[in-house]
Amino acid sequence: MKTKYIFYVLSIGLIWGQTLDPRYHTLEEIEALLDSLDQVAAYDDIYHLETIGYSNHENLPIRAVKISDNAAVKEDESRILFIGQCHAEEILGVEAVIELIYYLLDPPTAEAQHVNILRQNLEIWIVPTYNPEGLNVVHAGLDVSYRKNKHDFSPSGPYPNGVFDYDPAIGNDIDGVDLNRNYDFNWAFGDTFMQPDPSDYAAHYDYYRGTEPWSESEVAAIRDLALENDFLFSIAWHSSRSGRLSEKVFTSWKWEEAKFPPDIQEMIIIGDEIASRIVKEDGVENYESIFGGSRNGKAHDWFYSATGCFQYLIECGTANLQPDSVEQIEDTIERLMPAQIYLLDRAIGYNEDAGQITGIVRDGAGNVLEDVEVMVEERHGGVLQPRNTDEFGRFRRILNPSTYNFRFRKFGYEETAIQATANNSAIYDTDILLTPKTMYEISFILNDLWSDVRVKYDNGIFSGELDANLAFELPEGDWDLTVYVMAEGYDVMPWTRKINVDRDMQIIPNFEDFSPIELGISDSSWWNLISGSWIFDEEKLLTNSNFLYSNNDSLAGSWELESPWIDVSGSNRIVVEMSHQYEVEWDHDSIQVSLLDVDGEIARRVWKDQNWNEMVKGFIWVNDTSGFDSIKVQLSFGRDQTVAYRGWQIESMNLFHGYEQDLSIQSGSGFSPINLGSASSAYPNPSTGMISIDLELWREPLSISVYNLLGQEVYRENLAGMSPQRHTWRFDLQNRRGIPVSSGVYFIRISGQRKEFIRKCVFLRP
């Protein structure tokens, strides 16, 4: 104990006594430098200085430099971002990006042509620091190991006390938020307030994520800059105080040794190239290229998932992250420069691989279209926010040499699909044309008694929610509409319809005051447990009581929970309304609510994404002119073997059922009602041969498939669109169009573009 105490005291003494080499730029010197460059007449066209935000506690400006051939104007050019400093003690990155500014403004004569090409074809953004408060703490000598900003907190909780609570030793700084834990992507997994560091490094409290995502204005400034500029590439400079992560290039991401981002093939190749351009301090080896494995609100993961930018976190220097030798500082800067230049060259394919597909999307009149979703099927995933065209109609995708399938989508336009081939010899440029659809006005005539009425619209690709008292436009085509009353105290059955929008519509929704059946989300005895470990507490139904749900122990399988049979006889409409929040692993895990009758599933809704911030309304519904007798509600939770999130919490779940004489659309003047298809049960059932199913009010092509009990398809037939009258589909099970089949249970699936039925029959071979 005595030895440890002496070592601790000596360590504190060394830290307290340390001063930084004057070669490092203080915040005041950075400000003066950037302002002085802004006054140089020769740089008027190529240098632009902006204040992109202010620090959280002391309101210090956060400055950003843009270098381009016409720097004051945003142009249709690739944009690259370099961030010098996030964490206060990590100051080498500041010097690296300042050196880049000098190089781009006044290059060596031999490289002037190269730099001129970069300025002509790129917009290069450089943020020396977005932690000015922390930089001041370090340069003032208060705590050269300080990491966070100076957000004011109290030892008794995350609220201000008017005192700068810090410890000059490593860790134990109560004030401040780790800015690289405050991004909203996977923020929930970051450190809570005053959380100890379990490692032997004991940097307690240093990684606090903040009170909520984006709570820090410094992080919000970087977010807004990123969303405004659609950066193609970025480098965020860091340094590793422990030395364990030093001299490494981190690429997003490798979670639990199993999960990678959709663009991983391109991202890791570029990460490898960056690492190969930086020589380690020992002068022998190069930096190491590795995957980031943590999930805790970091910038580079957010940049990629939210904007598509490939941002690389580079830990420069060694454990001696503030070397006090000018020679060593200069040597480090010199070794970092090739990586920065490489990334600029790669963006335009200048003497580097050029693999990229780009283009401009226009409408039929030649106008550029902003916010067109550009999907590369081979690089798509639910973890990604939509990749949209910018204000120039431009899209850019970094791709390895191969042929790719692109899809272009925008609300109000026909979808366009193309194939395009990327190669490393040149950037492939192509223009895309989208054809506008006809837009029609939708409005509702509502009873004055109802207040706060909402409408949801969904066609499987585009969806939204609006105030139902306001008219809005939908493009032609098939849409699901759900109109519901938000106001408390009303047990009103939501109005639900599948419609084909082919003219302006003024709709009168028929709200019925049907008392709902409350599904007992807190009553385990009411449900039939099929599989899993569902949690029933006093107020909610949960998939897990721990912070995260458990992963599956096999490749397949799901949890299932079923209600008892619910008598809905005499009804032709069923709606399940639920209030829930959910967070599952995108694409790999899922939650599902299904409605079942005696013939199988009649409706379902699946979620494979995340909505955890608040409880949201969800609706599962089905209308059928044939009516219903009894139904079940089934809940399913599917998981794979790796990567867990916070799961599913259901606050309320109500089932409405009722009968409407007319399931068409009741309308105002000038509108023809629309009727939708139905399918009767199979009859006779059981059957010794011929079965029949009545099809009514179908106006679209149908696909009819017959399956045996093993799930094998034994017959398929396609029917063209039919007139609105009733049609009877007949099928001879005895010979299946000349091929005998055995006795047993068979399922008939009837599928249209807007609706699907599954009917069951028993065949008794004579």
The domain ranges of the chain are 2-348, 356-433, 439-507, 517-658, 678-763
Q: d(Cα 574, Cα 580) in Å, to the nearest integer?
A: 19
- CATH for 356-433 is 2.60.40.1120
Supply the pLDDT for residue 19.
Answer: 84
Structure tokens at 320: 């001696």
Report the Cα 724 to chain-centroid distance in Å. 42
Q: Which helix (H) or strand (E) holds 125?
A: strand 122-127
pLDDT digits (tens, 9 = 90+) for 499-539: 999 999 999 888 776 779 999 998 999 999 999 999 999 88
Supply the pLDDT for residue 7.
Answer: 31
Q: Which CATH number fits domain 2-348: 3.40.630.10, 3.40.50.300, 3.40.50.1820, 3.40.710.10?
A: 3.40.630.10
Top-tier CATH class for 517-658: mainly beta
Q: Which helix (H) or strand (E) holds 345?
A: helix 326-348
Alpha-carbon Rg for the chain, nearest whole angstrom, is 31
Residues of the chain short of pLDDT 50, as ranges, are 1-17, 668-676, 737-738
Q: Which CATH architecture has domain 678-763?
A: Sandwich (2.60)
Q: d(Cα 130, Cα 120) in Å, to the nearest integer?
A: 27
Say yes or no: do domains 517-658 and 678-763 share a fold. Answer: no
pTM: 0.84
Is the dihedral angle over the CA atoms 219, 220, 223, 228 positive or is it negative?
negative
- Give, in order, the Cα–Cα distances in Å from 713 to each of 475, 512, 691, 746, 755: 36, 41, 17, 10, 20
Supply the pLDDT for residue 567.
Answer: 96
pLDDT digits (tens, 9 = 90+) for 209-218: 999 999 999 9
Q: d(Cα 668, Cα 675) in Å, to the nearest integer?
A: 16
Q: d(Cα 304, Cα 236) in Å, to the nearest integer?
A: 13
pLDDT digits (tens, 9 = 90+) for 124-155: 999 999 999 999 999 999 999 999 999 999 99
Q: Which CATH architecture has domain 439-507?
A: Sandwich (2.60)
Q: d(Cα 674, Cα 669) in Å, to the nearest integer?
A: 14
Instruction: Find the largest Cα–Cα distance for the chain.
Output: 98
